[in-house]
Amino acid sequence: MITFEHVTKQYADGTVAIEDVSFTVEEGTTTVLVGPSGCGKTTTMKLVNRLEDPTEGTVYRDGTPLSEFDRIDLRRNTGYVIQEIGLFDHMTVGENIATVPRLNGWDEDEIDARIDELLELMDLPPESYREQHPPELSGGQRQRVGVARALASDPDVLLMDEPFGALDPITRESLQDEFLKIQAELDTTILFVTHSIDEALKMGDRIAIFDVGEVVQYDTPQAILDEPKNEFVEDFIGSDRPLKKLKVTQVEDVMSPPTEEVATAGGVADATAPVQSDGGSTVSPLEPTDTALSALSRLVASEDGRLPVVEDGDVVGTVSDEDIRRSNAGDKP
């Protein structure tokens, strides 16, 4: 748990990066700091591993003020991923990942095993990537190594500053998805900085929206979309707020109970079979964990007004245009 209590940071040249910021990052969650450039989100993040120290106020980790920690120990227990990645080009991928474990004095055997484990986790087979040097890798692969390096000594806190910002949209999307999966397996507290509200809504359990040096709204993605606190937040989310809401809503939250019609034996067989879409490619049936947005897009393309939702081969509900509209208006079905 990380707590910011009335934190102000003024740089030596007089610029105030953040002013009187207070919020708490819960253990094991991902909190996204989002806002336009120059809003102080990166400074806020750097306070957590003491790359910066606050001018006023206190940052606590699990109730202990950060000033009581040794800077070096604190950093070795805090993962750090940045947009520029900052891999050490003169070391191999394996050596890069081994950085913090080596600093912490682990056994070489332990380190070896950890490198392989992390490379597997990042979907980079150790036998082909371990001995490579970073310049030989693609941008996406380099950032995977960056994340692996940050996770190497299993830190309690992971700081990520626009980690996927420099990647092309397709690589970014797939890395986000993979990271969400990895994140579900970790119990790390993550502080994620981005300027993209879409990324914030996708990655965050909670979102802190920054505007020039202050936190304007700190809430769950749902709550921010449902009730933007002021015009700034509304503008920041953009005019497609209803669609963004559908993106953070899961089908199981909007679906109706299965109807007689599709629940009949024939119906089920039909529903669970892969559907042929217009393009001729096969589309698997809707699952409860799909987003409401993808349900809507399938409804638009489909001739039926109501689609079955399938989990492990059983129809667990149906979803219609009407269900989605109702959820977007705010009421649960």
Partner 1 sequence: MLSSVHNWLAYVDFAVEHSDRLLVATLEHIEIIAFAIAIAVPIGVGLGFLITFDDRLATAVIWLAGVMMTVPSIALFGLLIPYFGIGAPSVIVALVLYTQLPVIRNTYVGLNDVDPAALEAGEAMGMTRLQLLRRVQLPIALPVIMAGVRNAVVILIGIATIGAFIGAGGLGDLLFDGISYVRTEMIVVTTVILSLLALAVDYAFSISEQLFRLNNGEQVESSATMRLLQRVIS
Q: What phi and psi values does residue 304 have, to the nearest 5 degrees?
A: -85, 150
Token code pair at residue 52: 């910066």
The residue among 90 and 325 lying less far from partner 1, judged by its C-beta, is 90
1: burial class by Cβ within 10 Å (0-12, 13-18, 19+)? middle
The residue among 54 and 146 lying less far from partner 1, judged by its C-beta, is 146
Q: How far is the CB of 241 from partner 1 (least distance, A)?
A: 35
Gap between the Cα atoms of 192 and 41, Å rounded: 9
Gap between the Cα atoms of 215 and 57, Å rounded: 15
Q: How far is the CB of 271 from partner 1 (least distance, A)?
A: 50
The residue among 99 and 141 lying less far from partner 1, judged by its C-beta, is 99
Among 103, 97, 95, 54, which residue's Cα sits nearest to residue 74? 103
Q: How far is the CB of 134 from partner 1 (least distance, A)?
A: 8
The residue among 38 and 86 lying less far from partner 1, judged by its C-beta, is 86
Token code pair at residue 317: 């509900």
Token code pair at residue 63: 């109730």
The residue among 51 and 283 lying less far from partner 1, judged by its C-beta, is 51
Q: How far is the CB of 152 from partner 1 (least distance, A)?
A: 9
Q: How far is the CB of 120 from partner 1 (least distance, A)?
A: 22
The DSSP code for 250 is B
The residue among 6 and 71 lying less far from partner 1, judged by its C-beta, is 71
Q: How far is the CB of 101 from partner 1 (least distance, A)?
A: 10
Q: How far is the CB of 124 from partner 1 (least distance, A)?
A: 17
265: burial class by Cβ within 10 Å (0-12, 13-18, 19+)? exposed
Strand pairing report for 314-320 and 306-311: antiparallel
Gap between the Cα atoms of 244 and 251, Å rounded: 14
114: burial class by Cβ within 10 Å (0-12, 13-18, 19+)? buried
Binding site for partner 1 (CB under 8 A): 49, 51, 71-76, 78, 80, 82, 84-92, 99-100, 103, 133, 135-136, 146, 149, 159
Token code pair at residue 212: 């020039």
Residue matched to tokens 């690589």: 171
The residue among 133 and 306 lying less far from partner 1, judged by its C-beta, is 133
Determine contact, residues 48/191, Cβ cutoff 8 Å: yes
